[in-house]
Amino acid sequence: MLLFLFEMMAVLLADCFFSVQHFFHGMDISELPPELSCPTLQLIVLLGLDVRNNLAHKNIWEALIMNRRPDRPPLNFQLVSGDSHDLTTMRTKEPSQEAAVKGILKIDWMAKHLHRVPAVLVLFVDLDWNSPFWNEKLSECASKIQSIRHSFYGRNPYLALVLVQSFVTLPTDELATQKAAELCSSCELSSKLLFILPQSEHLFGYVVRLEFAFYDLAQNYYQNELKLLKSKKEALSRTVSQRLYVRYSFKQGFFSELRQDAHSALKYYKQAYQMLLEIEPVDAAVTELKVIGGYLTYKICRLYFKHNASSESMSHFQKHIEYFRNKTSKLEAEFEHSAWLSKQYSFFAELFDAAVQSGLTTSSAEHPGFYYQTAADYMIRRQHEFELSSKDGENETRRVGEAEEQISTATTTVVGYCGQRTDWSLSSAIDSEGRFDHSSAAVGLLCNAMTHFKNYPRSVRSRHCLLVRLGMQYVRQGRLEQALQAFLQALGPLRRARWTSLVGACLAPALRCAHALARPKEYVALVLELLNVEYGVGEPARRVQLQRNLLALSSGAVPEPDEGTDRAESDAALMAWQRLLLDSTTTFVPVAAGDINAGLTVTGGFCSPEGMAVVAAPTTFQLRLKSDLPEPLQLTKVSVQFVAGNDPAQSWTLDTPATSITLHIGQSTSKVYITLMWDVQSVSTVGFCVSNLGRKAAKLPVELPKRIKVLPKPPKLAIVCDDGFAVLIGEKYLYRVTVENLENAPISKLKVFESANSRCQHGIKFGYNIEQCDGAALSLELDSLMPNSKASSVFYITMEKTVDNVSMHMQVDPCLLFVITYEVTLNVENMDMSCNCTLDRTVSFSSIMPFVVESYMCTTMGQRVNELVVKEDVLLWMHVRGVSVPTLICSCTLHLLNSFFVNRTGNTVIDSDTSLSEICSVRPVGATMEPVSIAHATFCWKRWNETSSSEMISTSFSLCNVNIVSCPVIVSCVVPSFGVMYRPFVVKYTIENTTEKTVQLEATFESSERFMFSGMKKLTRLSKLEIILNVLPLIDGFSTLPRLQLLSSSEAVTSSLKQYSQRNVPLTILITPKDSTVSSSQDSKIALQDAESYCSVQMVCAYGCFVNATVSFQPKKTSH
C-alpha cells in the first residue's frame, strides 16, 4: 500500500514539473506540437503488473502491446509500476476557473489527454477463487481501489478490476459467482467492471476480448466528456464567450477523434475555426489566433484528406492563408511570421503528400511540390529577415535589456496557453532563432519539392528554378560540391530558355564554387560566360580581373579569388590549385564554347543564299570572331574541322579559315592548355570540295547558313521510251528504252533499273525474252557512251492479275519508275573529280482486260435465279464483250466440272462494239452445302493486227457461283403457245418426286373467272404423275393459267414447294378473240400440235452433279 501511494506522489511531482517547464519556456509559434499529428489513441492505464519479476504479468503485457494489427482496437496502453511514474494526478477544478478566460487552449491539454489522463484504469490482481488468503486479498483490493478513486477525484475515468487466475473457471461455478459478488460489493464495483483473465494456452484470445471490453468503456468515457462539453457550450453566449466557444468546440473535436468519429470531429473543428474568425484580431490576440487557427486548419485538412475531399482541403487552406497572411503582432519578430507561414505550407504539403501516397490522383497544376516550394520560399525569407534583425544591434540590445528587466521584476509571468506571448518572449525567440539551421530546413523543403516536380514533364522550368535556389542554400551551408553540381545542372536549360536573370544569378556563386574546388574546366567556362556583356559582370575592374585570371590560369598561375571570400575558403582554394598545377603533366581544359554564352564568340557560314551547294561547283565559307573581352586576347591557333554528314571518318581540318571551330589559348607546353570548341551543326551531305579559301571574301552578311545541303551533280542524259501505252492482262508486251549521252565527257557504269515498290504493288513482271518472264528485278547494264551517242535495250512487260467476276471489270493504271545511274569524270580547277549522277523517269501506262465475260443462270421461263434446284432444268447464259483494244479470240472452251462442252468461235475478232453470247441447259443432280462454280470458260486469244508473231494467250473465267438446294417435288407444265376464246385446249401438268421416299401431297387448283376446266383431281402415290386439264377460255387477252397448289403435312416441305417446285411452270397465256375465218378443224389441229409438242434432250453426265443438255423444241408429226 505504501509503495502504491509513493507511486502516485511521484506522478504528481512529475506532472507539476512538466507544467511549470512548459509555462515558463513558452513555445515556438511556428511549430506544431507532436500531439497534434500523432495518432489519437484512447489511453488505458494498467496498474498492478510486475513485468520484471512475474513471468505471467510479462506475457499479459506483451500480448497487449505487441502485434497491434489494424483489426485490433486503437488503444494506447501505459504501464504504471514502481519505476515508472507517467500517470498524472488529477487536480480539482475551481468553479471560477472557467469564468476567468485567459486563453483558448492550454499548452499541455492535448498531451495530457493523450498521455496522462486515462479513459480507463485497470487494476490487475493475482487472485483465485479458492485462494487460502481470500479475505486478505479482498481487503487489499478494496484499499487500492479506494486510493485510486481518491487520486482521481474530480475526474470520471472507468476503473476496472482484472483477476489473474491460474486456471479457467466455468460460468456455472457457484463458488466463483458467490466470490465475485462479494468482491464487487467490497470494492464498490459494478459487475460489468470485473474481468477474469485465466492463464492458459489461449491467453492471446482472452487478451483480445479484454481489449474490446476496455475499448467499449473508453468509448463511454469520451462520450460522457462530449456530453459535459455540450452542456457547457449550450450555456454560453457566442457574442460574449467567443474564446470559450472555440475551446469547447476544439475539445469536442478532439474527443470525437479519440472516439474514432472522424465526421463529428470535422464538424466540431469547423465550428471552432468559424468562431475563431469572428474574434477581433487585436494586437495582443493575433499570435494566439494564428496558432490556434493553424492547429484547427491542420486537423480540418487532415480529416478532409482522410475523407477523400482534397478540393475542400485545398480551399480551406487557401482561405486560412489569405486571412492570416498579413496578421502580425508587435510581440512577434518579422521572421516569426515568415516561420509560421513556412510551417503552414510545410504541414499542408506533408498532408497532401500522404494523401498522394494513399492513392490520391494529382496533376501538373496541383501537387504537393508547389506547397513545399512556397514553404521553402518563406523559410529563405525567414532567414533573410533574421539576418537583417541580427545586424540591428542597437534594437537587439534594447530588447534584450527590456526582457531581462521584465524577467527580474515580474518572474511570476507565465505563458500557459497556446500562442500567447509576453514581452520577454521576443528576446527568447531571437536567441533560439540564432541556433536554428535555416539552410538545412530550406534544403529539405526544396528537395521534397524537386521530388514531386520530377514526376511532371511540363514542370521543367519550375524544376530548374528550384535547382538554383537549392544551389544557393548549399553555398550557405558550405556544401560547395553539391552547389556547383546544382548550378551546372540548371544553367544549360536556363541558357536554352534565354532566362538571363536566373543565368546571371547562377554564374557568380557557381564561379565561387569552381574556384574553391579547383575545377579548371568549369572555372574557364564560367569566366567566359561572366565576360558576356548581355548578363555578365558589368564593372570594368571586375571584368579585367576575370580575364587576367583566365590568362594567369593558361600560364600556370593560380587565379585570384573573388572579393568578399572567407579567408579559410581562400586558403583551401589556394592549396587545391597549387596541388593541381604542381603536377608534371599538362592539364588540358576542353570547353564546349557552343554550349555557353561566352564573351568570345565565333560564327561562320557558307556563302550560299539558298543554303545549298552542288557537287563540282566551288563554295565559299566565311568565319567571324567576336570578342567582348575588356583586353586583347592572343590566340595561338585557330582550326576548322569539316565533317561530311554524320560520319567522323570523312572529316578534314583547315588550320586557318565550318562544322567545328577550335580556338587554343596558351602554348602546348604550358601547365594549363585551354581549348574552346564550337559545334556549328554538320552538313548532311555525301561530300564536297573546298577551294579558294585563301582569297579575300566578300562582306560578311548578318546571317549565314550554318548548315548547307550539298546536291548531286545534275545529270545530262536523255531517255527515250513510250509513255501512256496499254498492256493487256496476261500478255507479254515488248518495251524499248533508249539512252542518249548529253555530257561533254564519256560516261561509264551506265545502269537502268526499276523500283521494286511499283513491281510488287501492281504485280508487274519483267523478262528479257518472250519465253521467260519470271518477275525478277529489271537491271540493264549498258556500255559506256561517248558524248552525243545512244544505246538501246528491250525487255518484256507482263501483268498478271487474278481474273474473276469481281476484278474483270477493273482497269489498273500502274506506273514504272526507271532509275538511271552513271559515272562521269570532270575537271574542276585543274583537279579530276569523279561524280555519280542519277536520273529518274516515271512511265505511266494502262493495264486492261482483253475482254469482259458476264454470266448468269435463269429458268426455262427466262427468270434469273441465284439458287438451283436438283433435277430442275435451268439455262446458263454467257456474254463476251470486247474492250478498246481489238482482240482475236481463236477458241473458247466451256468446262462443266470434269465434263466439258467446247464451242469454237473460229477466229472471231471482238472490240468495243462487238459481243458474243453462248447458252446451254444444265440440270443439277445433287445438292451442295456451299456455293459452287457451275463452270469456267477458257479463251485462247491474242492481239489483232499484231505486226510480229506472238504466242497465243490462254485466260480462264469463273462462271456463276450459286447454291444448289433440293425440293421433294418438281412440277412441269405443257401448254400451247396461245389460245382462242371459247375453244378448249389441253394443259398437262407433270409432278415428279425427286426423292427416294413416298411424298404425300394434296393437289388443288385455284378457281379462275377467265377459264372453265375439268380433269383429274385425285393424286395417287407414284413417282411421276401427269394431270391433264381441258381448259375453256372465256375472256381474251393475257390470262392467268389455273395455279396448281401442292400442300403437305410438313410446314417445311410446304414452304419448299411454294418456293422451288413451280419455277418452270408458265403463269399466263395469250387468248385471242374467236376468228370466224378459221375453221373449227384448224383450231383443233393447232391446239393439238401445241399440246403434243415435246422436248428432245441429249444428256451428258457431269461428275454426278449436273446434266449438260442441248435443247431443241420439235412438234410431233401427226397425220390428219
Q: Dihedral sign for Cα 307, 309, 310, 314, please.
A: negative
* 740, 720 contact by CB (below 8 A): yes
* 492, 594 contact by CB (below 8 A): no
- Please state, for a pLDDT cut of 70, what percent of the chain lies above it: 76
* Domain 236-324 shares a fold with domain 851-965: no
Phi-psi region of 131 (alpha: psi -120 to 50; beta: other; left: phi over 0): beta
Q: Which CATH architecture has domain 851-965?
A: Sandwich (2.60)
Rank 518-532, 573-587, 683-697 by mean pLDDT and report only the highest: 518-532
Q: Give the pLDDT score at 323.
A: 95
CA dist 370 and 317 (Å) reads 13
Of residues 533 and 281, which shows the higher confidence score?
Answer: 281
Task: Answer whether residue 463 shows pLDDT above 50.
Answer: yes
Radius of gyration of the chain (CA): 55
| 117-130 mean pLDDT | 92
| 334-346 mean pLDDT | 93
Per-residue pLDDT reduced to its tens digit, 796-813: 888 775 444 334 444 557
Per-residue pLDDT reduced to its tens digit, 554-581: 888 888 888 778 888 888 888 888 888 8
| 279-302 mean pLDDT | 93
- 3-class state of residue 485 by DSSP: helix
Q: Give the pLDDT score at 311.
A: 94
Q: Determine which of 23-32, 278-287, 1058-1067 has the lowest per-residue pLDDT on average.
A: 23-32
| 420-436 mean pLDDT | 75
Closest by CA position to 662, among listed 689, 638, 627: 638
CA dist 835 and 837 (Å) reads 6
Q: How far is CA 473 from CA 384, 466, 488, in A?
A: 12, 11, 15
Per-residue pLDDT reduced to its tens digit, 776-797: 667 777 778 888 888 888 888 8
**Grid-cell match 567582348, residue found:** 628
Q: Which CATH architecture has domain 2-92+100-218?
A: 3-Layer(aba) Sandwich (3.40)
Residues near 340 by Cβ (< 8 Å), separated by ≥ 6?
Answer: 29, 30, 290, 291, 294
Q: Give the pLDDT score at 772.
A: 67
CA dist 362 and 355 (Å) reads 10
Within 13 Å of residue 498, how many CA atoms lie on the same side as its CB? 1
For residue 498, the surrounding DSSP H or E stretch is none
682-708: string of b/e by CB count within 10 Å (b at 16+)? bbebeebeeeebeeeeeeeeeebbbeb
CA dist 299 and 110 (Å) reads 13
Q: Give the pLDDT score at 22.
A: 42
pLDDT band at 759 (very low <50, low <70, confident <90, very high): low
* 38, 114 contact by CB (below 8 A): yes
Phi-psi region of 93 (alpha: psi -120 to 50; beta: other; left: phi over 0): beta
Q: Determine which of 48-57, 141-150, 597-606, 902-911 has the lowest per-residue pLDDT on average.
A: 902-911
Q: Give the pLDDT score at 923.
A: 83
Of residues 730 and 424, which shows the higher confidence score?
Answer: 730
Residues near 931 by Cβ (< 8 Å), separated by ≥ 6?
Answer: 961, 962, 963
**Helix segments in 1061-1119, DSSP class H:** 1080-1091
| 1025-1050 mean pLDDT | 82
Task: Answer whether residue 300 shows pLDDT above 80.
Answer: yes
Q: Give the pLDDT score at 277.
A: 94
- Please state, for a pLDDT cut of 90, what percent of the chain lies above it: 25
pLDDT band at 877 (very low <50, low <70, confident <90, very high): confident
Largest CA distance in the chain: 164
Residues near 280 by Cβ (< 8 Å), separated by ≥ 6?
Answer: none
- 3-class state of residue 222 by DSSP: helix
Per-residue pLDDT reduced to its tens digit, 366-415: 999 999 999 999 999 999 888 888 766 445 444 544 544 443 433 334 56
Task: Answer whether residue 903 shows pLDDT above 90.
Answer: no
Q: Dihedral sign for Cα 687, 689, 694, 699, please.
A: negative
Rank 19-28, 37-46, 561-570, 689-698 by mean pLDDT and report only the highest: 37-46
| 7-31 mean pLDDT | 48
Q: Give the pLDDT score at 829.
A: 72
CA dist 231 and 228 (Å) reads 5
Angle between helices 242-258 and 286-306 (to 10 degrees): 30
Of residues 581 and 183, which shows the higher confidence score?
Answer: 183
Angle between helices 368-391 and 438-453 (to 10 degrees): 160
10 Å CB burial of residue 786 (0-12, 13-18, 19+) is: exposed
**Helix segments in 478-629, DSSP class H:** 480-496, 500-517, 520-530, 540-554, 567-581
Task: Answer whether residue 431 shows pLDDT above 50.
Answer: yes
CA dist 804 and 802 (Å) reads 7
Closest by CA position to 15, among listed 151, 123, 156, 154: 151
Q: Determine which of 455-464, 602-611, 1041-1050 has the lowest per-residue pLDDT on average.
A: 602-611
CATH of domain 969-1074: 2.60.40.10
Q: Determine which of 335-339, 729-733, 1041-1045, 1111-1115 has the lowest per-residue pLDDT on average.
A: 1111-1115
Q: Give the pLDDT score at 683.
A: 30
263, three cell numbers: 465526421
* 388, 404 contact by CB (below 8 A): no
715-743: string of b/e by CB count within 10 Å (b at 16+)? bbbebebeeeeebbbbbbbebebebbbeb
Q: Give the pLDDT score at 6.
A: 40
Q: Give the pLDDT score at 55.
A: 92
Q: How far is CA 531 from CA 484, 497, 513, 548, 737, in A?
A: 19, 20, 18, 12, 68
Q: Give the pLDDT score at 99.
A: 45
Task: Answer whether residue 774 shows pLDDT above 70.
Answer: no
* 317, 362 contact by CB (below 8 A): no
CA dist 597 and 534 (Å) reads 9
CA dist 1100 and 1107 (Å) reads 6
Task: Answer whether residue 1021 shows pLDDT above 90.
Answer: no
- The three-state DSSP-derived secondary structure of 824-838 is EEEECCCCEEEEEEE
**Grid-cell match 500522404, residue found:** 354
Rank 689-693, 928-932, 936-940 by mean pLDDT and report only the highest: 936-940
* 442, 380 contact by CB (below 8 A): yes
| 978-988 mean pLDDT | 89
- 3-class state of residue 879 by DSSP: strand
Task: Answer whether residue 852 shows pLDDT above 50.
Answer: yes
Closest by CA position to 124, among listed 223, 219, 214, 12: 214
Task: Answer whether residue 1112 shows pLDDT above 80.
Answer: no
Q: Give the pLDDT score at 264.
A: 96
**Confidence (pTM):** 0.61
Q: Give the pLDDT score at 904.
A: 55
1075, three cell numbers: 376468228
Task: Output the CA torsion 150→152→154→157 (10° steps).
Answer: -130
Task: Answer whether residue 1047 shows pLDDT above 70.
Answer: yes
pLDDT band at 653 (very low <50, low <70, confident <90, very high): low
Fold held by 725-848: Immunoglobulin-like (2.60.40)
Task: Answer whether residue 152 shows pLDDT above 60.
Answer: yes
Domain boundaries, the chain: 2-92+100-218, 236-324, 331-434, 586-711, 725-848, 851-965, 969-1074
| 38-66 mean pLDDT | 92
pLDDT band at 950 (very low <50, low <70, confident <90, very high): low
Q: Which CATH architecture has domain 236-324?
A: Alpha Horseshoe (1.25)
pLDDT averaged over every residue in the chain: 77
Task: Answer whether residue 906 shows pLDDT above 70.
Answer: no
CA dist 270 and 300 (Å) reads 7
CA dist 868 and 922 (Å) reads 10
CA dist 64 and 190 (Å) reads 24
913, three cell numbers: 462494239
Task: Answer whether residue 141 shows pLDDT above 80.
Answer: yes
- The three-state DSSP-derived secondary structure of 90-105 is CCCCCCCCCCCCCCCC
CA dist 556 and 558 (Å) reads 7
**Grid-cell match 501492281, residue found:** 762
